[in-house]
Homo-oligomer: A and B are copies of this chain.
Amino acid sequence: MDQASPATAPALKVAILGFGTVGSAVARILADQPASSPLKLSHVFNRNVERKRVAWVADDVRWSSDAEQVLASDADIVVELVGGIDPAHDWIARALTAGKSVVTANKKLIAKHGPELTALARKHGGAISFGASVAGGVPVIDALQEGLAGDQLYKVCGILNGTCNYILTKIENEGVSFDSALEDAKRAGFAEADPTDDVDGYDARAKLVILSRIGLKGIVQPEQIPCMSIRSIGAVDFTYSHELGCTIRQISRAERRDGHIYASVQPALVPIDSPMAHITGSLNLVLSSGKYGGQTAFSGHGAGGHSTAVAVVSDLLDIARGRFGDAARPQVAADVLPVTGNFASEYYLRFTVRDRPGIVAAIANALATHSINIDALLQKPGFNKDALPFVVTLEHCPAEQLEAAMRDIRKLDFLVHEPLTMPILTKEL
């Protein structure tokens, strides 16, 4: 019972494009599979491939520095791990056009060209799978697409960028500055030399685009989603947040409501006893909310060669099970919807000012002009009067209303630098 059935078809040949950390981890897992596995590594492409060659890969695997050769080969499935848009887009399109299937971890490409590539796969009888593109080893794409297919999901949110989470929890636990936490993340291998994609939110945004399409059936372009950097978060913000019963996380969220997709990526205050607050270091978390089944949570290692490789191999096995059946699957329509970042919430504003009389009055006036109510004013003692940080919390208001008030406030002459605004998400997630 439940025994392996006799192999009814030869194993599918798998070509890996890009033999870095993830690529070699994929090869490692494939090498560890039992002989009855429906998958067999056949090709490895990398630039200057000779320096990548490893002894534990089977002798009959063909190593190549020529991507054209691999694309023209008899490989059944191409695993794209080179990243970026070019030449990955072209290579994937050509593999699909040749009737091959494709597995990719490329969130940037899937966020931008996913629907087009899925259509191309269907047209040519192949499949394109990208479970590794969001939250690495956490099988959330699969869960939204299949495990929760019976629900109507209206909201997804999560902690999608391990670098930001590592940096924020570092600032929180050690009271260091953003710059110091970033340097530490670089040394620990959790941040790249150019951290822009991570800390400014673009990486999380690409993942949110994919989650919106798969979970909310809403087609969104990355540029449509407002993104806020975590660069201006300091230890002082954790001090004030704790006073409010909260901590700070980079939160990506999307909601389908009133014919719109509401979406944003930004640092936010979340209650200290919320699932978000429990996610520390480089872990990822995704929460989905459905009309019927309520909220479901998925968490685990979002990055790292092995976690991502598990997602790639799971996609490979899924294609092997379906024997390219994906193209025949009835697809649920995804709609192109207008996108807005105009969520309403309570807000946390942190100002750093050259202290003088009238500052609170000036800020309060600007807020009142835009019909925004102040909830509380927090000021810790012991700071330098030339760069005095204090916090104003606001009652519930829409993001655009706050933004209009902030345009006025930014003109005030006592600001030492740009005020920091973060939503306080006590009930929204």
Contact = CB atoms under 8 A, between A and B. Distances in A.
Contact of A139 (B137, B148, B309): B148
B25 A330 contact: no
Interface in A96-154: 115-116, 118-119, 122, 131, 136-143, 146-152
Interface string A21-55: 00001000100100010100000000000000000
A301 B294 contact: yes
Contacts of A38: 330
A2 B294 contact: no
A219 B146 contact: no
Contacts of A1: 115-116, 118-119, 219
Interface residues of A, number: 72
Contacts of A298: 143, 296-298
A144 to B, nearest CB: 9
Contacts of A173: none
A341 interface: no
A321 B139 CA distance: 19
Contacts of A325: 321-322, 325
| Copies per assembly | 2
Contacts of A318: 146, 149
B278 A290 contact: no
A245 B81 CA distance: 44
Interface stretch (A3-11, A57-65, A158-166, A383-391): A3-11
B331 A4 contact: yes
A85 B3 CA distance: 24
Contacts of A2: 115, 118-119, 213, 219, 331, 333-334
Contacts of A140: 147
A207 interface: no
Nearest to A116: B1
A272 to B, nearest CB: 12
Given A147-B142, A150-B313, A330-B321, A297 B294 contact: no
Interface in A354-409: none
A244 interface: no
A5 B330 contact: yes
29 contacts: A1-B116, A1-B118, A2-B115, A2-B213, A2-B219, A2-B331, A2-B333, A3-B331, A5-B330, A29-B292, A32-B152, A137-B293, A137-B296, A139-B148, A143-B298, A147-B147, A148-B310, A148-B314, A149-B313, A149-B314, A150-B315, A151-B314, A275-B278, A293-B307, A294-B306, A294-B307, A295-B301, A296-B299, A321-B325
Given A131-B147, A137-B148, A296-B300, 17 more contacts: A1-B116, A1-B119, A4-B333, A25-B292, A137-B293, A137-B294, A139-B146, A149-B314, A150-B310, A150-B311, A150-B313, A290-B310, A292-B306, A294-B300, A295-B301, A297-B297, A322-B325
Interface of A: 1-5, 7-8, 25, 29, 32, 36, 38, 115-116, 118-119, 122, 131, 136-143, 146-152, 213, 219, 275, 278, 290, 292-301, 306-307, 309-318, 320-323, 325, 328-334
